Structures are given as structure tokens and as C-alpha cells.
Amino acid sequence: MALNRVAKSPDIVPIRNILVSTADKTGLGEFVSGVLAICPGATVYSTGGTFALLEKSVPGAKLRTVSSYTGQPEMQGGLVKTLDYRVYLGLLSEPNNPDHLRDIERTNAITFDMVVVNLYPFMEQITRSPDDLEGARANIDIGGPCMIRAAAKNYLRVASVTSPSVYEQIITEMRASSGGVTLATRYRLACSAFRHTAEYDAAIAGYLANVDAPGDAYEIS
């Protein structure tokens, strides 16, 4: 398989489509409101409880459920919400790649310019209830790490936002750059994003290696 090598990437990418799905919703409404104040034409695609929060806290926003975009309902319990071909076309399509552009057009997909995602609170769960293996299992996020990694891999075009601690910095930069995020910032966010998922996976692996394995009969109460 020949790997794509991108020779040219834009510095400032304007924010038009934002994908939002967070466990930690600290400051999220204010952040999205700030982004939309700078980029009033942007559309926000969101899931589950995050959508419900934004619907209340950001009135008048161009807000869509991810399900309305993909055409697929969320799996019961929210187990599958964003694992969809068109979502990942929108995350991974590379700048100025004609084949990728044809795929976007063929599937009537969009490109995402910013992903605001953080993960199920696995560490908090195992700290609170270290002996609750089923509670730990339920808090292993799947779609979140996939979205974060895809956005971070494509920092050439996508800003991957994983922590409320950077919200204010991003708003400040967007105001200074007429509604965009610079390549330097996208790269810095990608570094943080991969660190975020690496620490998360390490916590899961470490926990599972140090708890008693379930027996032959695994009864879920």
C-alpha cells in the first residue's frame, strides 16, 4: 500500500464544520458559543448528551445530530454513534487531494475543521470503584479515541481539541486570525491529542492487568 505524502498544507483553516462529543462538558457551551460568534456560519454536529447540552446552552446555533448526518441511529447505550464512513472521510481527507475530494462529493459528505472530543471517565471510574470490573469495562471509550486520532493525524487540516484547558487559547487565536486555527496550533493540539489517548489506553491496560480475570460464568447484574 502506497502511503499518501502531502506536500502542501494551509496555514490558517477557517472553521466551518465542528464535530463535538464530550464526556467532560466543562465550559463547552461557552466555548461553542465563542466559536460561533467568530464563525456564525459554522455548523455543529454532535451526539447524545452533548447535543442536548448545546441545544439548551447555545440557542440559535446551526446544530445537527450526528445521526441525522449519517442516517444511522445511535446504538442503545451510545455504543455506536460516530463510527461511520462519511464521518471519517470528513476527518481524514487531506488538503488538495483530488481522490479524497471525489470521495467527499460521491458520498455527499462534509469535511470537519475542528473536533472537540474527550473520553469516557475511565480513570475516575476505577479510582472510585477499583473492584468494579463491569463498571470499568462500560467506561472504555471506542468512538472517542478513533475521532481524536483521526483528527490529530490530519492536523494538516483539522484542529483536535481534547481539553477544556485550551478553549480560551483557541478562541483568542480565532479572533486574531479571522476565524481560523493556525497550522502551528493544530500541530500542538495533535501532540496533546495523541498524549491524551495514549494515557487513556495505558490506564485501561494497567487496570486490566491488575484485576482478577472474570471466571467462566460472567454474570452482569
> What pLDDT, on a 0 to 100 scale, did the predictor assign at position 82?
64
> What pLDDT, on a 0 to 100 scale, did the predictor assign at position 219?
58
Contact 133, 163 (CB under 8 A): no
C-alpha cell read off for 7: 506536500
C-alpha cell read off for 145: 479515541
> What pLDDT, on a 0 to 100 scale, did the predictor assign at position 197?
94
Report d(CA 185, CA 113) in Å as an integer: 13
pLDDT digits (tens), the chain, 221 positions: 667 776 567 777 789 999 999 989 999 999 999 999 999 999 999 988 898 999 998 887 889 988 888 766 665 555 556 677 788 888 988 877 777 678 788 888 899 999 999 887 888 888 899 988 988 998 888 888 999 999 999 999 999 999 999 999 999 999 998 889 999 999 999 999 999 999 999 999 999 998 877 765 555 55
Contact 21, 143 (CB under 8 A): yes
Tell me, which fold does domain 13-209 have in CATH?
Rossmann fold (3.40.50)
The full set of domain ranges for the chain reads 13-209
> What pLDDT, on a 0 to 100 scale, did the predictor assign at position 79?
55
> What pLDDT, on a 0 to 100 scale, did the predictor assign at position 218?
56
Contact 157, 9 (CB under 8 A): yes
